[in-house]
Amino acid sequence: MTAQPQTLQRPARTDKGADLRPKRRITGPGVMRAYTWLIILWLILPIFVMILFGFNDTSGRYNQSWEGFTLKWYGRLFDIDDLTRGLITSLVVAVVSSLAAGALGTGIGYALGRYRFRGSGSVNLIMFATISSPELVMGASLLTFFVSLGVGLGVVTLTIAHIMFSISFVATVVRARVMTLDRSIEEAAADLGATAWTTFWKITFPIILPAVFSGVLLAFALSIDDFVVSNFTAGNAVTFPLWIWGATRVGIPPQVNVMGTLIFVAGVVIAVAFNIRSRRAQRD
């Protein structure tokens, strides 16, 4: 797979698409393009429904059929105390756990990407295990663990659990970046008399920072959306997804749609801004 045959007669083309496009059949890609858009629309449809029903002029909690346009739910966003508290809990847990997982995961990712050391295989293995284990089993085993220790479940156990499942993701992202790091830059710094410590903070860290940052963002997203592990480890604490789960039977109030919409918009804006920034940084 690594051997790339060189074309001798022609210069290598950079536009991959052009080479593969069959000249005779125009219909093939056209159909696939339509298909791709269809699937994308299917993926987006529930989001659209969620946003739309945040503007629905319903009277009670029953938010199933369209009653007309209103902005009132945006004004009454924080009317349901438990829901608001759930959202705050979600945000706090996401911030704390993504920062902690960011620190712990960066250490592992940096070590794995940078050094060859005995035991790295086991570290890889446990990371692989945490990423591929069913969330249900991770949540269930943590519950068992806390209960048999006599530890009461709550925001603390919830945060511990979120840090646990985020570490490996951060480490994987950071490791990928550290592996592609150009070592000669660090050597140049050392040649110019910088100590290892200075080299790390002045050279290495700024280069891997975007990876650390995307790792933390990923951890934040994983945490704020998590339902399964949270359901087992939260005890009486309620997060945004847990509150929605509890309300499923009695009906989801429009405030949930509005909060979902705001989280969605914030997430998209942050992701787009981050993307533009890193692209600009690449170009410079």
Partner 1 sequence: MSRLKRTIAPYLLVLPGGIWLIVFFAIPMITMLSLSLQEGDIVNGYTFTGHWQTYVDALDDYRTQLIRSLIYGAIATIILIALAFPMAYWIAFYGGRRKATYLFLVLLPFFVSFVLRTISWRQILTDDGPVLSPLKSAGLVPESFHILGTPTAVIFGLVYNFLPFMVLPIYVALERIDPRVVEAARDLYADPATAFRKVVFPLALPGVFAGVLMTFVPTSSDYVNSTVLGGTDTTMIGQVIQAQYLANSDYPTASALSFVLMAVLLIGVFAYAKVLGTEDVMKVAAR
Residue from 59, 68, 115, 180 in contact with partner 1 (CB under 8 A): 115
∠ Cα 217 102 187 (to 5°): 110
**Distance (Å, whole) CA 111 – CA 256:** 42
Residues 176-195 that bind partner 1 (CB under 8 A): 176
Interface positions, 242-261, toward partner 1 (CB under 8 A): 244-245, 248, 252, 256, 260
The reply to whether 201 sits near partner 1 by the rule CB under 8 A is no
Who's near 27: CB < 8 A, 6+ residues apart?
none
CB of 81 to partner 1, least distance (A): 20
How many residues belong to the site for partner 1 (CB under 8 A)? 103
Q: Which of residues 151-170 bind partner 1 (CB under 8 A)?
A: 160-161, 163-164, 167-168
232 binds partner 1, rule: CB under 8 A: yes
CA–CA dist 102, 213 (Å, integer): 8
Which of 77, 79, 76, 72 shows the shortest CA–CA distance to 57? Answer: 72
Among 137, 151, 185, 273, binds partner 1 (CB under 8 A): 137
| Residues, the chain | 284
User: Which part of the chain contacts partner 1 (CB under 8 A), choosing from 78-86, 99-107, 180-188, 203-211?
Assistant: 99-107
Residue 208 Cβ vs partner 1, minimum distance, rounded to whole Å: 13
DSSP state, residue 80: S
Give the span between the Cα atoms of 264 and 262, in whole angstroms.
Answer: 5
Of 17-46, which residues contact partner 1 (CB under 8 A)?
A: 17, 19-22, 25, 29, 32-33, 35-36, 39-40, 42-46
* Owner of token pair 């429009």: 254
Instruction: Candidates 70, 84, 85, 114: give the one binding partner 1 (CB under 8 A).
Output: 114
- Rounded distance between C-alpha atoms, residue 163 and residue 220, angstroms: 10
Determine which residue in the list 91, 95, 96, 103 makes contact with partner 1, applying CB under 8 A. 103
